[in-house]
Amino acid sequence: MQGSVPLRPGLGNTVLKDEILGMSEGDSVGESIHGKPSVVAAFFTGVGTVYQTWLDKSTPFYAVRWALTLLLTAIYMIRVYILQGWYIVTYALGIYHLNLFIAFLSPKVDPSLLDEDEGPSLPTKQNEEFRPFIRRLPEFKFWHSATKGIVIAMICTFFDAFNVPVFWPILVMYFIMLFCITMKRQIKHMIKYRYLPFTHGKRTYKEET
């Protein structure tokens, strides 16, 4: 056939045959190697899907969610008290929860970064339109992050590498001071920009007679 290159008998045919067989074997090995990560990825994807499904189902049951989180916190505190250690982990957990709580109390858009005539503002008069408070950290994300922090701290108590020797009363005093200073600044911010971090529904006013 015109355009085809005839194979000459001899060593060349053997080498060419070996190369073709080697390429086919390499492709099959490559497929098997590349197939393993896909199985692992599929497994973790399935686990993530199941986990997200349970999270979605637990969204309306906020009281049950927070009750379980408080129970988990009590178990962690009892464990730390019995073991008499891992105080630095507990301190880090407290700082993390404090940051989450401040984000939960803060508005999504900081009023201090906006001009007086720009951006959404909360109503201050009876005839103004009702605007619900939008948090920077929603309640569900607050709960989810706080619970994950407790679980991670619980896991850390099983490893001696995280048991750093420290004088725990100093950590307690420092955390109390930091909590008071942070909350004082947050309350001043709430008073200055006249907002409350809680919304219980649309408020109605009686017509003046």
What is the domain partition of the chain in residue ranges?
10-57, 61-193
Residue 56's identity, in one-letter code, is D
The answer to whether the CB of 92 falls within 8 A of the CB of 122 is no
Q: How many whole angstroms separate alpha carbon 114 and alpha carbon 35?
A: 53
What is the per-residue pLDDT for 5?
46
What is the per-residue pLDDT for 134?
82
What confidence tier does 144 reach under pLDDT thresholds 50, 70, 90?
very high
Which segment of 122-126, 151-155, 169-173, 180-184 scores lowest on mean pLDDT? 122-126
- Token pair for residue 32? 């098997």
The answer to whether the CB of 87 falls within 8 A of the CB of 80 is yes
The answer to whether the CB of 203 falls within 8 A of the CB of 130 is yes
Residue 191's identity, in one-letter code, is I
Question: Measuring CA to CA, which residue among 144, 151, 150 is closest to residue 103?
Answer: 144
Is the overall model pTM greater than 0.75, yes or no? no
What is the per-residue pLDDT for 129?
53
Instruction: Output 91 or 2, whichever has higher pLDDT.
Output: 91
Question: Measuring CA to CA, which residue among 137, 66, 144 is closest to residue 104?
Answer: 137
For 113, which DSSP code?
A: G
- Token pair for residue 17? 């045959």
Q: How many whole angstroms separate alpha carbon 137 and alpha carbon 103?
A: 5
